Amino acid sequence: MHTNRRILITGGAGFLGSHLCERLLNEGNEVLCIDNFYTGTRRNVAHLLDHPNFELMRHDVTFPLYVEVDEIYNLACPASPIHYQRDPVQTTKTSVHGAINMLGLAKRLNARILQASTSEVYGDPSVHPQPEDYWGNVNPIGIRSCYDEGKRCAETLFFDYHRQHQLHIKVARIFNTYGPRMHPNDGRVVSNFIVQALQGLPITIYGDGSQTRSFCFVSDLIEGFVRLMATDDEVTGPINLGNTGEFTIRELADRVIDLSGSGSELIFKPLPGDDPQQRQPDLSRARSILNWQPSVSLDEGLKATIRYFDTLLSE
Ligand SMILES: NC(=O)c1ccc[n+]([C@@H]2O[C@H](COP(=O)([O-])OP(=O)(O)OC[C@H]3O[C@@H](n4cnc5c(N)ncnc54)[C@H](O)[C@@H]3O)[C@@H](O)[C@H]2O)c1
C-alpha cells in the first residue's frame, strides 16, 4: 500500500513509535515524529533521519502543538513501571494534558487520531480473558495509578471529543509487547531476562514463576495499529491488541536461556505489590473488525530481540 498522508507520531522516538515511523515511511507517507526523549532516544530513529519524508522534533505533549497533519498517533507516555513511577505527576500530565493537546489539534485539523491505550486500564482483572466491555479493577491511589488512571482519563477524553465534537477517534488497548528497541533497563520481563542471559547473570524471577503473561511481537502490534487507523469513521474502539498465547514467567526464562545459549541460573525474589497474576486479551473484536491476529511466534520474536540486545550490549 502506498499512500501520501502527513502523519504525526507522538512518542515516535520510543520503542513502539520508532517501528511505527519506519512502517508509515515505508508506505510512502510523510512522518513528523515528536518526542521529549524522556524514555525514547534519537538512536531509535537515527536510521530515518536522512529520509526525505521524515522529520524529528523535540516537543513535550503537555504543551500545545501547532502543525498541519492528516493523522495523529498518540503514543507519548513512559510505559514501564520504573519509568512512569519516577515522576508520577508528570506521567499523569503526559497522558491527560497530552491527550487534551493532541485532541485539540485533531479537532482543529479534522484529523483522525489514534490513542495508544493499555491493558492496564483493566487493572487487576476479575474477568479472564479481558474483553473490551470489561470496566476493569483499578486502584485509584496506588503507585501504578498515575499510569493506569492517566490512561483511563485519556480514553474518557477521546470518547468525549468523539461525542461532543464528532472527532474520528481510534483507541487501541495494547497488551504486553516486546521486540528490538525496548529499553535494556526498564525492568520489563522480556528485556530483563534477555539482558541477564546475554551477560551471563542470574535470571531474576519474581514470585515462583507460575504467573502467566502473553507477549506480542512489535511487528504484529504495528500491523494492528495501521489496520485500526484505516477503519471506517464509525469504528472507534476500544480494541484490544496483543497476543493470546500464555506462557508462565518460568517458561519465558527457559526459552530465553535456550535461545541465547546462556549458562545463566534462575534466582527467585518476592513478588512486588499490585502485580497481576494473569492477564490475557480477548481478541474477538480485533479479529472481526480488523481481520487481524498476531502471527509471530514467541521463539521467532525472542530470536530477533536477542539479536538486537546482543548488538546493543557489544557496542
Ligand atoms: N510496549 C508495551 O507493551 C505497551 C503496552 C501498553 C501500552 N503501551 C503504550 O504505547 C506507547 C508507547 O510505549 P513504548 O513501549 O514504545 O514506550 P517508550 O517509553 O519506549 O515510548 C514512549 C515515548 O514517549 C516519549 N514521551 C514520554 N513523555 C513524553 C512527553 N511528555 N512528550 C513527548 N514525548 C514523551 C518518550 O520519550 C518515548 O519516546 C505508550 O503510550 C504506552 O503507554 C505500550
Domains, the chain = 6-178+217-243+276-294 (3.40.50.720)
- 118 C-beta closer than 6 A to ligand 1: yes
- Region 187-201 average pLDDT: 94
- Count CB atoms within 10 A of the CB of residue 57: 12
| pTM for this model (two decimals) | 0.96
Q: Has residue 2 got a pLDDT over 90?
A: no
Checking if the pLDDT of 92 tops 60, the result is yes
| C-alpha–C-alpha distance, residues 183 and 15, integer Å | 7
C-alpha closest to that of 115 among 247, 260, 229, 232: 229
Least confident of 85-94, 182-191, 224-233: 182-191
Q: Can you name the residues that pair with 69 across neighbouring β-strands?
A: none
Whether the Cβ atoms of residue 120 and residue 151 lie closer than 8 Å to each other: yes
DSSP E strands, 119-192: 169-174, 177-178
β-pair partners for 206: 269
DSSP 130: B
Q: Does residue 8 line the site of ligand 1, with CB under 6 A?
A: no
Compute the average pLDDT of residues 282-299.
Answer: 98
Atom of ligand 1 nearest to the CA of 188: 3
Going by C-alpha positions, the residue among 195, 182, 170, 222 that lies closest to residue 78 is 182
Strands annotated E in 145-215 = 169-174, 177-178, 203-206, 212-214
| pLDDT-derived band at 187, boundaries 50, 70, 90 | confident
Q: Is the pLDDT of residue 178 over 70?
A: yes
Q: Which residue has the cell 480488523?
A: 290
Q: Taking 60 as the threshold, does the pLDDT of residue 1 lie above it? A: no
Q: Measured from the CA of 216, which atom of ligand 1 is nearest? A: 3
Residue 137 · residue 289 · CB < 8 Å: no
Catalytic residue (choose from 73, 147, 161, 178): 147
Among residues 256, 126, 133, the alpha carbon closest in space to that of 200 is found at: 256
Share of the chain above pLDDT 90, in %: 91
Report the pLDDT averaged over residues 149-158. Answer: 98
Q: What is the pLDDT of residue 138?
A: 94
pLDDT value at 275 more than 70: no
Residue 84 among the catalytic residues: no
Ranking 15-24, 86-95, 178-187, 288-297 by mean pLDDT, the lowest is: 178-187
User: Alpha-carbon distance 116 to 61, whole Å?
Assistant: 14
Q: How far is the CA of 23 from the centre of ligand 1 (A)?
A: 17
**What integer pLDDT is reported at residue 211 of this predicted model?**
87
Grid cell of 69 as nine digits: 497533519
Identify the residue whose C-alpha is closest to ligand 1 atom 12: 75
What average pLDDT does range 243-253 have in this prediction? 95
Query: Cell triple for residue 241?
Result: 491488541
Nearest to 71 by CA among 212, 207, 226: 226
DSSP SS3 for 175: coil
User: What's the CA gap between 251 and 198, in Å, rounded?
Assistant: 17
Judged against a pLDDT cut of 70, whether residue 174 lies above it is answered with yes
Q: Looking at the CA of residue 174, tell me the nearest atom of ligand 1.
A: 6
Q: Ligand 1 centroid to 301 CA: how many Å?
A: 20
Q: What is the mean pLDDT of residues 58-65?
A: 98
Cβ-based neighbour number of residue 80 at 10 Å: 17
Please state, rounded to an integer, the average pLDDT across all residues of the chain: 95
Other C-beta atoms lying within 10 Å of the C-beta of residue 159: 16
